[in-house]
């Protein structure tokens, strides 16, 4: 589940295809699959719940996969990078495609997200974001 572009629906489709090709068993419905996965995750502590007060945190990141658009004038295929911001408690999200992942695109996408949400949160949590790192600093604790 930690791999890019992996969701439970994808895992269910893979499981269902495997069951059908091997003819060993009838596959679970998606709802039953989710119930069994939840039991497995609880048993092996495969999930982590992070308590958050609603409206205090905005999680932001660039989506791992890129999209493409075709320039109508030149016919050139251009990469698009997807900015994603989420209010985790409500699962309300804002996404925006940009032509680069530079700092200007990062700031602009944030401003658009804040406009969409109608304000900002107290805390903004980026996920291991290289676009905002401008200088490497080694800190040694003694």
- Average pLDDT per consecutive 10 residues, the chain (142 residues; last block may be shorter): 68 89 87 88 70 81 87 92 90 92 92 94 80 56 49
Residue 106: exposure state from Cβ atoms within 10 A (0-12, 13-18, ≥19): buried
Q: How far is CA 56 from CA 85, 87, 114, in A?
A: 13, 8, 13
Distance CA 123, CA 42 (A): 29
**How much is the pLDDT for 142?**
45
Q: Residue 58's CB: how many other CB atoms inside 10 A? A: 23
Q: CB–CB of 59/85 below 8 Å?
A: yes
**How much is the pLDDT for 131?**
56
**How much is the pLDDT for 65?**
81
**How much is the pLDDT for 64?**
79
Q: Please, which residues have CB within 8 angstroms of residue 75's CB and are 6 or more apart in sequence?
A: none
Domain layout of the chain by residue ranges: 8-43, 57-126
Residues 44-69: tens digit of each pLDDT: 776 556 666 787 889 999 987 888 99
In this structure, what are the phi and psi dihedrals at residue 108, rounded to the nearest 5 degrees?
-60, -45
Please tell me the pTM assigned to this model: 0.57
Distance CA 81, CA 96 (A): 8
């Amino acid at each position: 589940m930690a791999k890019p572009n992996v969701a439970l629906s994808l895992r269910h489709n893979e499981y269902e295809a495997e069951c059908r090709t091997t003819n060993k068993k009838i596959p679970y419905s998606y709802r039953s699959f989710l119930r069994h996965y939840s039991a497995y995750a609880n048993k092996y502590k495969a999930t982590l719940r992070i308590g958050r007060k609603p409206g205090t945190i905005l999680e932001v990141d660039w989506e791992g996969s890129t999209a493409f658009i075709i320039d109508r004038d030149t016919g050139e295929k251009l990469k698009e990078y997807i900015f994603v911001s989420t209010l985790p408690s409500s699962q309300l999200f804002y996404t925006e495609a940009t032509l680069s992942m530079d700092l200007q695109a990062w700031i602009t996408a944030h401003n658009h997200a804040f406009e969409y949400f109608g304000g900002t949160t107290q805390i903004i949590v980026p996920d291991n974001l290289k676009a905002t790192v401008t200088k490497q600093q080694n800190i040694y604790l003694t």
